[in-house]
Amino acid sequence: MQVGISIGTSFALDGPDGHRAGVLQALGQARAARRAGLSSLTLGDHHSTGGAGYVQNVPLLGRLAAEWQGQMGCLFILPLWHPVLLAEQVGTLATMTEGPFIVQTGLGAGAAEFAAMGADLQGRGARAEEAFRLVAALLRGETVDSPLFGVKAARVAPLPPQGTEWWMGAGARSSIERVARLGGHWYANADLTPATAARAMDLYREACAAAGRAPGRVPLRRDVFIAEDRGLATRVGDALVASGYRGFEREAVTYGDPSSVAEQLSVYAELGFTDIVIRTMGPLPPELGPGAADRSVELAGDVMSLLA
Angstrom distance (rounded) from CA 172 to CA 203 = 10
Phi-psi region of 18 (alpha: psi -120 to 50; beta: other; left: phi over 0): left
Angstrom distance (rounded) from CA 136 to CA 127 = 14
pLDDT tens-digit map of 141-154: 999 999 999 999 99
172 three-class SS = coil
Name the E strands within the chain: 2-7, 10-11, 40-43, 53-54, 71-77, 101-106, 144-146, 151-154, 164-170, 185-188, 219-226, 253-256, 275-280
Domain housing 114: 2-307
Residue 110 has pLDDT above 90, yes or no: no
Least confident interval from 14-18, 101-105, 212-216 = 14-18
pLDDT, average across residues 14-43: 95
pLDDT tens-digit map of 68-85: 989 999 999 999 999 999
pLDDT, average across residues 156-165: 98
Angstrom distance (rounded) from CA 215 to CA 186 = 8
Angstrom distance (rounded) from CA 185 to CA 178 = 11
Residue type (1 letter), 11: F
10: Cα within 13 Å, side-chain hemisphere: 14
pLDDT band at residue 113, thresholds of 50, 70 and 90? very high
Please check whether residue 42 is in contact with residue 6, taking contact to mean a CB–CB distance below 8 angstroms.
yes
- Peptide linkage before 283 cis (omega within 30 of 0): yes
DSSP state for residue 244 in the 8-state scheme: T
pLDDT tens-digit map of 173-188: 999 999 999 999 999 9
Residue 52 has pLDDT above 90, yes or no: no
Q: Across the strands, what pairs with 54?
A: 10
Task: Output the DSSP codes for 100-159.
Answer: SEEEEEE----HHHHHHTT--STTHHHHHHHHHHHHHHHHTT--EEETTTTEEEE---S-
The pLDDT score that the predictor gives to residue 51 is 80
Angstrom distance (rounded) from CA 198 to CA 21 = 38
What's the domain count of the chain?
1
Angstrom distance (rounded) from CA 195 to CA 271 = 10
pLDDT tens-digit map of 235-277: 999 999 999 999 999 999 999 999 999 999 999 999 999 999 9
pLDDT band at residue 14, thresholds of 50, 70 and 90? confident
Residue type (1 letter), 263: E
The closest alpha carbon to 39, from 90, 100, 89, belongs to 100
Please check whether residue 252 is in contact with residue 191, taking contact to mean a CB–CB distance below 8 angstroms.
yes
- CATH number of the domain enclosing 262: 3.20.20.30
